[in-house]
Amino acid sequence: MLVKKQIRGLPAYAPGKPIAEVKREYGLDHVIKMASNENPYGASPKVAERIAMVASETAIYPDGYGTELREALASKHQVSEKQIMLGNGSDEVIQFLCRGFLSSNTNTVMATPSFSQYKLNATIEDAQIIEVPVTSSGDHDLEAMLAAINEQTRIVWICNPNNPNGVALSREAFRHFLDRVPKECLVVSDEAYYEYVTTDDYPDSVSLLSHYPQLVVLRTFSKAYGLAGLRVGYGIASESVAQAIDPVRPPFNNNAIAHQAALAALEDEAFIRLCKEKNQQEKQRLRAYFEKEGFFVYPSETNFLLVETGIPGNQLFQAFLEKGFILRSGEALGYPTGIRISIGSKEENDAFLEVAPTIFNTCKT
């Protein structure tokens, strides 16, 4: 058997540890997962109601075009439904873009550290990967990224705010960047944490689509909307880009229950506002605590914090795990002495703050 060369030896995605496994392994009754930036308040109650209503509708294939959801998103964003690319999570839209635009004689430019899926999918397509280190403040180095773009560059990835550090790019910087990227190169703005952003200096990238036909905006229902388990994400692009890559999409890539759940989630804007507010409050509280410990915390526009502790990430990960907290070690994320923590609910953060000082004290010495 000859698997293609670019995936030989490629490690499979290592997900955060599941709660049930941690409970069993460490004999814990209570485990709190603060590793994958899910919404600690779940989803709008309207979602479960809608799912119950359609729970028996499983025998018929879903609407492959996702007409209803497409129309709802088009109306929300004031774009044509033909500009929407629905994915089984925005991860899948990343895959479509790579499949549609990258091949062995092309390259793609991205920041490092950034979200792992750009590199993975580009590698599978055998494209050359050009990684540009973020600046010391954690920002995309846009000048260096521009300098790295050449005639073979098909996609440049902007993760805004960036995962894993939470740092956001300003409107001005983004526009200035778009003005200088060659028209043949796609600019993908991955905005998975859009709903959590509070700075008023954040780009309104959807409104930029009409000026910049090579722009692609990614959004997801997995984070603030609380539908990570159902897998719905989408891209918004020019009609020609969206239509060009549509043939690579599997015919029924979102299931029928997920369609309805996403529609119900979209209707409850009050829920998103409330989650954003609570996230902001709790984020300030955790940030203040980490700073009191003397750690550097990246300015985050998301629902997670990257904390530079000076302690090996895996060591801290292990110490918190044994106390029933699943965090994300910075070691696999490009920050060897960092730890990434998703902002929990008030109760979850209370519990975290109760055990954290002892753990940090033990690890610091």
Binding site for ligand PLP (CB under 6 A): 89-91, 115, 159, 163, 190, 192, 220, 222, 228, 233
Q: Which is nearer to ligand PLP, 190 or 282 (CB)?
A: 190
Q: Which is nearer to ligand PLP, 41 or 323 (CB)?
A: 41
Quote the least distance from Cβ 159 to ligand PLP, whole Å: 5
Q: What is the DSSP letter of 193?
A: T
Q: Is the dihedral of CA 119, 189, 275, 164 positive or negative?
A: positive
CA–CA separation, 81 vs 98, rounded Å? 22
E strands, 134-170, are 153-159
Q: Which is nearer to ligand PLP, 89 or 100 (CB)?
A: 89
Quote the least distance from Cβ 111 to ligand PLP, whole Å: 11
> What is the amino acid identity at position 10?
L
Quote the least distance from Cβ 166 to ligand PLP, whole Å: 10
Token pair for 108: 């793609």
| Long-range interactions of 123-127: CB distance < 8 A, separation 24+ | 123/6, 123/7, 123/10, 124/6, 124/7, 124/10, 124/98, 125/6, 125/98, 125/99, 126/4, 126/5, 126/6, 126/102, 127/98, 127/102, 127/103, 127/154
Q: Which is nearer to ligand PLP, 222 or 311 (CB)?
A: 222
Quote the least distance from Cβ 222 to ligand PLP, whole Å: 3
Quote the least distance from Cβ 228 to ligand PLP, whole Å: 6
Q: Which is nearer to ligand PLP, 35 or 192 (CB)?
A: 192
Quote the least distance from Cβ 93 to ligand PLP, whole Å: 8
Q: Which is nearer to ligand PLP, 39 or 220 (CB)?
A: 220
Quote the least distance from Cβ 192 to ligand PLP, whole Å: 4
| Chain position whose Cβ is nearest to ligand PLP | 89
Quote the least distance from Cβ 39 to ligand PLP, whole Å: 11
Three-state SS for 266-329 is HHCHHHHHHHHHHHHHHHHHHHHHHHHCCCEECCCCCCEEEEECCCCHHHHHHHHHHCCEECEE
Q: Is residue 10 exposed (0-12), middle (13-18) or buried (19+ Cβ within 10 Å)?
A: exposed
- For the chain, helix, strand, coil in percent to 5 are 45, 15, 40
Instruction: Specify whether the CB–CB gap between 154 and 146 falls below 8 A.
Output: no
Q: Which is nearer to ligand PLP, 185 or 224 (CB)?
A: 224
Q: Which is nearer to ligand PLP, 91 or 125 (CB)?
A: 91
